[in-house]
Amino acid sequence: PTSIIVYRDGVGEGQISHVHKTEVRLLQTACEQVYGPKSVPFAFVIVTKRISSRFFAPGPKGPQNPRPGTIIDTVVTDPTKYDFFIVSQHVRQGTVTPTHYHVIEDTLRLPPDIMQRLTFKLTHMYYNWSGTVRVPAPCQLAHKLAFFTSQTLRRAPRTELDELL
């Protein structure tokens, strides 16, 4: 491949440095082993769904939910990190919950607006839903695969696989 983008879900705020030290380094090592010293550029993005942040847009009758595709990357984000929020879905009732993205490694060097747009476009790619989903399709597919696997196996995975998956 010419580039790799990894969307990693299920990581708590306190686990980000551990993921960076272990998973990102393992990905770098694997790319170097497979593709040689001129490694493939990649981005590693942490996807966080369980957040307490809510955003509103001005409306004719007061504050309303932002439109799908709204990207928040200033003021409430950490200026020392590469992070952003995306409101990717429409809700009919209640308050929409955005998804928080942390780009913890980026040798791909995509401009932030391209990374944000790509991430939003991937929320349209989930085959089981006609609209947008809350997370990029690769995250939704991985979640579904993990669920189906756990339901099918109904036992702990083999220990030999611990270091391979």
CATH (domain of 42):
3.30.420.10
Instruction: Check if the beta carbon of residue 41 is closer than 8 Å to that of residue 107.
Output: yes
Segment-wise mean pLDDT, segments of 10 residues, the chain, 165 residues: 94 90 93 87 94 90 92 93 94 91 95 96 92 93 89 79 68
Domain count, the chain: 1
User: The domain containing residue 37 runs over which residues?
Assistant: 4-161
Residue 56 is which amino acid?
F
DSSP state, 23? I
DSSP 51-108: ------EEETTEEEPPPTTEEE-SSSS-TTS-EEEEE----SSS----EEEEEEEESS
pTM: 0.87
